[in-house]
Amino acid sequence: MYSNCSVVLENLEVTYTLQNHDLSFLQSIQEVGGYVLIAMNEASVVRLGNLRLIRGQTLYGEQYALLVMSNYNRNMTSVTSGVREVQLSSLSEILRGGVKITHNHLLCNMETIQWGDILDQRNPSMQFKNDSFPKTCERCDPVCNGSCWAAGPEHCQKLTKLQCADQCSRRCRGPNPSDCCNQHCAAGCTGPTNTHCLVH
């Protein structure tokens, strides 16, 4: 359904995948108009590596634009499989709505993300529940400065707001005043004018 799709106008729901499911079709998605729900999955990695923007025009439960919840399979004695990585390595902006990440017994690195850089409104709904379940996670690459979606330098969080110069009104591509994005840009930019916006 989503093969070769770059913009999802409504909501994106990735649910009930099994360990052997091929989710490579998600890689082409760059923008979602509503919310993103990743729930009840057993696949170990969910790759949305090109997703830059979640608009949040529709919210899950009237609060959340991104939900990652209950991604594991539990037998009688232990968790046997589940999502270990949600690779959102290009995600730089959620225009409306908050984030909910709960009951993911094997999920790594969500606690390293600087959500204040991604969320675009004041006091968004945030709900995180870190499980005490024992898990083995790889550390962020040293070049990531402690914020990553997965191991490796290609999975560093891309900051487009927290590192900006005071002169910038919204987002930026670096720490200098000359790195400010145009005020109409969403999710960052490659230069100073509105033609350099990654997304409008």
Structure-token pair, residue 166: 């005071």
Q: In CATH, what class is 7-159?
A: alpha beta
Q: From CA 38, how far away is CA 11, in angstroms rounded?
A: 11
Quote the pTM value.
0.91
CA angle (95, 102, 47) in 5-degree steps: 65
Which residue's entry shows tokens 């099994």? 18
Structure-token pair, residue 81: 């499989």
pLDDT(134) > 80: no
Q: How many residues does the chain have?
A: 200
Which residue's entry shows tokens 């993300």? 113
pLDDT bin (cut points 50, 70, 90) of residue 74 is: low
pLDDT bin (cut points 50, 70, 90) of residue 1 is: low
Domain extents for the chain? 7-159, 160-200
Q: From CA 151, how far away is CA 6, in angstroms rounded?
A: 25
45-74 mean pLDDT? 93
92-125 b/e (C-beta count within 10 Å ≥ 16 → b): bbbbbbbbbbbbbbbbbbbebbebebbbbeeebe
pLDDT bin (cut points 50, 70, 90) of residue 77 is: low
**Rg, the chain, Cα only:** 17
DSSP helix/strand/coil, 194: helix
What is the pairing mode between strands 7-8 and 31-32? Answer: parallel
16-20 mean pLDDT? 88
pLDDT of residue 73: 80
